[in-house]
Amino acid sequence: MADQSPDYDLDDELALDDAAQYRALFEPTRMEITRLVGQRAATVSELAEALDKPKGTVGHHVDALASAGLLKVVRTKKVRAIEAKYWGRTARTFLYGGFEDPGVLVPSPLRTAAEEFSGKGDFGIAAVRYAQIPDDRAGEWARRLADLAAEFGSQAPAGTTTFGLVVGLYPTDRPTLPEEDGR
């Protein structure tokens, strides 16, 4: 498997722990910026070109992400008497969960996937399944899903289509039947 690591050092994980980080990340342009710099470090000009947005707008979003501790300058380069800043993520994976603030809208990965998939051809699968399993088996499933997601995300860029992968394992409040008498 080819590794699609960025061209700079970064932590494996960062647990988001305050409202400012959530607000900074869960804005569509900022989410795209963090995705793009997950491929390689980039300047504001490069990001603006990739996103087809004005440099001032992208610079504002980069500053917000940096203030929240989600982006950082990973290197600089002298370009015609100006020092170009190359931005990168602070972590490969941002972990979120357990934060409850009604003022922070966390996007639903499934809703995003459904919107992106709508009318996009023959590829795609979606399934929701439920199983009553012991905690240790849930932990095993979580590790396997994390490995699958990591493998998917480390693919070397190829082809002309960017595909998305949504995985999840979570406890529910779904009711269960009591055990039958005599079992």
Q: What is the pLDDT along the chain (183 residues), one digit of tens a residue?
A: 344 568 899 898 888 888 888 888 888 899 889 988 988 899 999 999 989 999 999 999 999 999 999 999 999 998 888 899 999 999 988 876 655 555 555 566 656 666 666 555 666 666 667 778 899 999 999 989 989 988 888 888 888 888 888 788 888 776 665 666 655
> Structural domain of residue 32, as residue ranges?
1-100
Asked whether the beta carbons of 153 and 93 are under 8 A apart, the reply is no
At residue 24, φ and ψ (nearest 5 deg) are -65, -45
Q: Do residues 85 and 124 both lie within one domain?
A: no
Q: Is residue 180 part of a domain?
A: no
From CA 39, how far away is CA 7, in angstroms rounded? 8
Strands 82-89, 71-79: pairing is: antiparallel
How many domains does the chain divide into?
2
Residue ending a domain, among 55, 76, 100, is 100
Structure tokens at 74: 């990973």
